[in-house]
Amino acid sequence: MAGARFDAVIARRPDLRAPLPRDFVERLTGTTVRAVTRRAKYLVAELSSGETLLMHLGMSGWFSVDHGEPSQAPDPHDHVVFEMSSGAIVTFNDPRRFGSMDLVAAGHVGDHPALSALGPEPLSPAFDAHALARACKKKTIALKVALLDQRIVAGLGNIYASEALHVARLSPLRRASTIATRTGLPRESADRLTAAIKKVLNEAIARAADTTNTSYRGARFRVYDREGEPCRRPRCGGTIKRVEQAGRSTFYCPRCQR
């Protein structure tokens, strides 16, 4: 999409998680995409009109890209179609409709409610043990629940929260504040957790870049979705357990994660 113009925009089904913004089609058509970036789990397309297109895939959303003609007949879950001047036809498909799209006026992207309270990007230098410890210092919630709080660290999801805690050998059940001293300085556990988050995300990105393995289900997770199976940590011998926290599944090894 970067560098291409919206020749046509088709909003087949405007009732996504939030309704598409007013005049969605008119505001996009004819404008050019300057650049596509990302913030947390939001895709951010900067437009020549000055506006910014914010997109979220929710749980089940994805984009397909066809050139010339769509390869398939329209699916009932093809909600938005972008016909670009490059010839690319970009289709947003989302069965559950937890995804969203919004348009933000120039200079107000940072004020958007979805972005304004986000914490640091986990792969940025700003996200270090000091930042994590400070953010968790007064938190009575479980450590895993804190990792899913996008104000503490932006963009970590349910799978990689569990994965990072396993790498860091930390129990998802401990209180978040236990990785910081009373004064909010990082304990060794905060160092391990920060490094583990960066590690699992970098690995996942490298895997996703491998087009021979596009499905997350094809991934070989350390703990996620492995209830009852043996811990992969060498010589641990533990068995992966599943618990529910804040309505989400958490997987961990009670033997090596403390």
Partner DNA sequence: ATTGAGACCTGTCGGC
Partner DNA sequence: TGCCGACAGGTCTCAA
Q: Look up residue 21 and give its two tokens.
A: 């913004």
Q: Which of 32, 150 has the CB closer to DNA?
A: 150
Query: In one letter, which amino acid is 204?
Result: A
97 binds DNA per the rule CB under 7 A: yes
Residue 91 C-beta: closest distance to DNA, Å: 16
Q: Which of 4, 173 has the CB closer to DNA?
A: 173
- Strands of 6-11's sheet, edge to edge? 6-11, 78-84, 88-93, 62-67
Angstrom CA distances, 115 to 56, 98, 136, 156, stand at 12, 17, 20, 14
Please list every residue from 209 through 238 that binds DNA, using CB under 7 A: 215-217
Residue pair 119/154 in contact by the 8 Å Cβ criterion: yes
What are residue 186's DSSP bridge partners? Answer: 180
Site track for DNA across 28-47, x = CB under 7 A: ------------xx------
Task: Classify 247 in phi/psi space as left (phi over 0), alpha (psi -120 to 50) or beta.
Answer: left
Query: In one letter, which amino acid is 10?
Result: I
20 binds DNA per the rule CB under 7 A: no
145 binds DNA per the rule CB under 7 A: yes
Q: Look up residue 139 and give its two tokens.
A: 């938190």
- CA gap 143, 198 in Å, rounded: 17
Interacting stretch for DNA, rule CB under 7 A, among 31-39, 45-53, 84-92, 141-149? 141-149
138 binds DNA per the rule CB under 7 A: yes
Residue 21 C-beta: closest distance to DNA, Å: 13
For CA atoms 221, 207, 194, 41, give the dihedral sign.
negative
72 binds DNA per the rule CB under 7 A: no
Residue pair 40/106 in contact by the 8 Å Cβ criterion: no
- CA gap 103, 106 in Å, rounded: 10
For CA atoms 54, 59, 65, 71, give the dihedral sign.
negative
Residue 3 C-beta: closest distance to DNA, Å: 27
76 binds DNA per the rule CB under 7 A: yes
Interacting stretch for DNA, rule CB under 7 A, among 31-39, 52-60, 121-129, 165-173? 52-60
Interacting stretch for DNA, rule CB under 7 A, among 92-100, 165-173, 179-187, 196-204? 92-100
Among 157, 184, 238, 254, binds DNA (CB under 7 A): 157
Q: Site for DNA (CB under 7 A): how many residues?
A: 35
Binding region for DNA (CB under 7 A): 17-18, 40-41, 56, 58-60, 76-77, 95-98, 100, 113-114, 138-142, 145, 148, 150, 157-159, 215-217, 246-249
